[in-house]
């Protein structure tokens, strides 16, 4: 009898679970939301990155051959040792170190705004660059390579277990800790070859970049976010290049200082 | 039969990702590699919002201290610096067998055999007069998919192992996130004794199951002759090594002195020129990303 009751309860609970769309426990089916409406946190506004890591590789142009901390291979080493900023300037390639795999590490401020309901824009004052994060969209065929590439974005899917978080019943299935997703995930491709570091550490046109944006509130109430960046480039890296960059919210545009790209 | 089929269907629910920090993790030294592997250069205070007192204390530091003063020889890395410093990491969960509730996360780092507990059962931090330890007292709460950890009761330790010390009055807030097999730990340190604003750094790890975790032993040994009780130091204005890092890397000396004014992008607009002409190319730790490649003099990567 006990088993029968449990099975009946499981049946009811399962029926409830199976009736729900993933990510919307307890609610009736809903029309698809726009990315802006579905945003679990608000990344919009002005942000500054205090440079408390990699200072001498970010705040100044490092010496030729200073490739420390980047898991480069021999081909990248040789490429970097041939770095010639004058040559880049002559070729109009001053923005090679401002591409998507590098721009979030370049000291400066970023301004994040919704261009439309499914496109989040990241403007960077360093190099006057603009990134477009496309939700619910794939790169069009024939998309031309560019410094910022094509970025597909999505809100991290809520994590859930087989259990029903409304009543923890039946107890044979589990709910999960840390289960409410609130991160922004971005994958960027279609990149024009550029530099991971201003002194000529290369990434190739075959680079794929993953990013994870995590929002938080500091103990003093200030919003921050950290973007974890994973650069995959089998041509020049021996393992994925992983960095994480911290940004602090600013109340307004004070300090916003757009500058052109510089090769030096 | 229909119930069994339905239960089978439930168990076969599509696998969503889960926030599980347990396992063995390998650090990625893709930020500040030379500082975190062979160790920082003397006089390198870059990127740290230290106050004048912390700077004066760092200027007095003599690297012989770790060879002469036994209390420093085997000084462990604290909860916050350990995440920045050297070595692998293992995270385990402690579950109450009666209630199946999560009691704590435990971390083990082979470096100095550091064991840490992060209490998840809602207990309060002890009163201020309770003993301070290297790993402090940590409690965690979930904020969505982020584990927010508050650590108090820490002993004084390092912000950087070249004399920039942290005080025992600091409070550390950590934000742990996992995305796929990448683990990121943001460390937000408020130290009213040494800093003028919070020190915020983030460290990355990759899942590395199957690590053959090592044990580390540290023996106190007199490595450099010194008078009993002597603490190697430099009196104010006498440290001859402070300009080295600026000269070796072609940097303005002022920038190497750290402080909050130097960590914001606008400092680039007022940063002075280097005091000496920069070297033509990198000459020190130029490809330092993993310990085996952290030779003093540059060689191409293996």
Report chain A residues whose CB lies below 8 A from the CB of B152. none
Q: B175 and chain A: CB distance < 8 Å anywhere?
A: yes
SS3 of residue B295 by DSSP:
coil
Place of tokens 């002759």: B225
Tell me the whole-structure pTM to 2 decimals.
Answer: 0.90
Which of B177, B187, B283 is the best mutation test for A, with the most CBs of A within 10 A?
B177
Query: How many C-alpha atoms does B89 have within 13 Å on its Cβ side?
Result: 25
Q: What is the pLDDT of residue B297?
A: 80
Q: How far is A229 from chain B (nearest CA, A)?
A: 10
Residue of chain A minimizing CA distance to B36: A69
Q: What is the pLDDT of residue A21?
A: 45
C-beta separation of B38 from B294 below 8 A = yes
Report chain B residues whose CB lies below 8 A from the CB of A164. none
- Bond into A170 cis (ω within 30): yes
Report chain A residues whose CB lies below 8 A from the CB of B175. 214, 216, 226
C-beta separation of B284 from B297 below 8 A = yes
Window A:138-197, CB contacts with B under 8 Å: 156-162, 173, 176-183, 185
Q: What is the pLDDT of residue B85?
A: 81
Place of tokens 């990355």: B204
Report chain A residues whose CB lies below 8 A from the CB of B15. none
Q: What is the pLDDT of residue B221?
A: 82
Residues in chain A, pLDDT under 70? 1-31, 158-161, 165-168, 176-179
C-beta separation of B166 from B188 below 8 A = no
Which of B263, B264, B265 is the best mutation test for A, with the most CBs of A within 10 A?
B265
A74, two tokens: 């021999």
Residues in chain B, pLDDT under 50? 1-18
Q: Which domains are seen in chain B, by residue range? A: 23-32+64-207 (2.40.128)
Cα–Cα distance, A43 to A40 (Å, whole number):
10
C-beta separation of B301 from A73 below 8 A = yes
Which of B166, B264, B280, B298 is the best mutation test for A, with the most CBs of A within 10 A?
B264
Q: B279 and chain A: CB distance < 8 Å anywhere?
A: yes
Residue of chain A minimizing CA distance to B142: A178
Report chain B residues whose CB lies below 8 A from the CB of A228. 177, 179, 182, 184, 202, 204
C-beta separation of A153 from A184 below 8 A = yes
Residue of chain B minimizing CA distance to A56: B46
Q: A11 and chain B: CB distance < 8 Å anywhere?
A: yes
CB contact under 8 A, A69 and B204: no
Report chain B residues whose CB lies below 8 A from the CB of A60. 250-251, 255, 271
Window B:176-195, CB contacts with A under 8 Å: 177, 179, 182, 184, 186, 188, 190
Which of B17, B46, B148 minimises the CB distance to A55? B46
Q: How far is B251 from chain A (nearest CA, A)?
A: 8
CB contact under 8 A, B182 and A178: no
Cα–Cα distance, B177 to B242 (Å, whole number):
38
C-beta separation of B91 from B76 below 8 A = no
Q: A201 and chain B: CB distance < 8 Å anywhere?
A: no
Q: A219 and chain B: CB distance < 8 Å anywhere?
A: yes
Q: What is the pLDDT of residue B144?
A: 87
Report chain A residues whose CB lies below 8 A from the CB of B194. none
Q: What is the pLDDT of residue B70?
A: 85
C-beta separation of B70 from B83 below 8 A = no
Window B:212-271, CB contacts with A under 8 Å: 249-251, 255, 262-269, 271
SS3 of residue A63 by DSSP:
coil
CB contact under 8 A, B33 and A67: no
- Return the H-helix or E-strand segment holding B3: helix B2-11
Report chain B residues whose CB lies below 8 A from the CB of A220. 198
Q: What is the DSSP letter of B260?
A: G
Which of B286, B293, B299 is the best mutation test for A, with the most CBs of A within 10 A?
B286
Q: What is the pLDDT of residue A224?
A: 98
Q: What is the pLDDT of residue B256?
A: 98
Place of tokens 């990013």: A211
Buried b (16+ CB within 10 A) or exposed e, A105-124: bbbbbbbbebeeebbbbbbb
Q: What is the pLDDT of residue A157?
A: 77
State pLDDT tens for residues A153-201: 999 876 666 777 666 677 777 776 666 778 999 999 999 999 999 999 9
Report chain A residues whose CB lies below 8 A from the CB of B9. 14, 18
């Amino acid at each position: 009898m006990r088993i029968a009751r449990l099975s009946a309860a499981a049946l009811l609970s399962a029926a409830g679970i199976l009736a729900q769309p993933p990510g919307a426990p307890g609610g009736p089916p809903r029309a698809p939301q726009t990315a802006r409406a579905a945003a679990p946190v608000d990344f919009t506004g002005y942000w500054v990155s205090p440079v408390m890591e990699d200072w001498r590789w970010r705040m100044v142009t490092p010496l030729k051959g200073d490739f420390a901390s980047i898991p480069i291979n021999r081909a990248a080493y040789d490429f970097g040792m041939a770095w010639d900023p004058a040559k880049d300037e002559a070729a109009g390639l001053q923005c090679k170190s401002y591409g998507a795999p590098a721009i979030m590490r370049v000291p400066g401020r970023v301004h994040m705004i919704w261009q439309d309901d499914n496109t989040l824009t990241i403007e960077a004052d360093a190099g006057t660059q603009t990134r477009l994060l496309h939700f619910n969209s794939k790169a069009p065929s024939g998309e031309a390579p560019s410094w910022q590439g094509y970025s597909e974005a999505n809100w991290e899917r809520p994590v859930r277990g087989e259990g029903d978080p409304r009543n923890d019943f039946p107890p044979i299935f589990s709910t999960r800790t840390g289960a409410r997703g609130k991160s922004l995930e971005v994958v960027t491709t279609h990149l024009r070859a550029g530099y991971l570091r201003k002194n000529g550490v290369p990434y190739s046109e075959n680079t794929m970049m993953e990013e994870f944006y995590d929002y938080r509130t500091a103990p003093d109430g200030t919003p921050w976010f950290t973007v974890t960046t994973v650069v995959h480039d089998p041509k020049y890296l021996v393992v994925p290049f992983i960095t994480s960059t911290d940004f602090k919210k600013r109340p307004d545009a004070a300090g916003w200082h757009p500058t052109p790209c510089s090769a030096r | 039969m229909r119930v069994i089929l339905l239960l089978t269907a439930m168990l076969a629910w599509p696998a969503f990702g889960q926030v599980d920090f347990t396992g063995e993790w390998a650090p990625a030294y893709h930020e500040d590699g030379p500082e975190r592997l062979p160790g920082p250069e003397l006089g390198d205070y870059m990127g740290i919002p230290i106050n004048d007192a912390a700077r004066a204390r760092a200027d007095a530091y003599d690297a012989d201290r770790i060879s002469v003063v036994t209390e420093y020889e085997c000084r462990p890395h604290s909860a916050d610096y350990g995440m920045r410093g050297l070595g692998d990491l293992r995270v385990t969960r402690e579950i109450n067998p009666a209630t199946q509730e999560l009691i704590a996360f435990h971390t083990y780092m082979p470096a100095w055999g550091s064991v840490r507990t992060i209490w998840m059962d809602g207990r309060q931090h002890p009163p201020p007069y309770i003993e301070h330890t290297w790993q402090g007292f940590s409690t965690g709460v979930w904020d969505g998919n982020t584990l927010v950890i508050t650590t108090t009761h820490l002993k004084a330790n390092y912000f950087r192992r070249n004399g920039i010390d942290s005080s025992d009055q600091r409070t550390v807030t950590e934000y742990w996130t996992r995305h796929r097999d990448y683990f990121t730990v943001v460390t937000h340190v408020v130290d009213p004794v040494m800093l003028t604003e919070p020190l915020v750094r983030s460290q990355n790890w990759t899942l590395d199951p199957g690590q053959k975790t090592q044990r580390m032993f540290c023996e106190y040994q007199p490595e450099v002759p010194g008078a009993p009780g002597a603490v190697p130091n430099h009196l104010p204005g006498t440290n001859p090594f402070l300009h080295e890092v600026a000269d070796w890397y072609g940097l303005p000396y002022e920038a190497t002195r750290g402080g909050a004014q130097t960590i914001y992008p606008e400092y680039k607009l007022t940063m002075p020129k280097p005091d000496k002409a920069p070297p033509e190319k990198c000459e020190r730790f130029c490809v330092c990303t993993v310990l085996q490649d952290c030779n003093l003099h540059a060689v191409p990567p293996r």
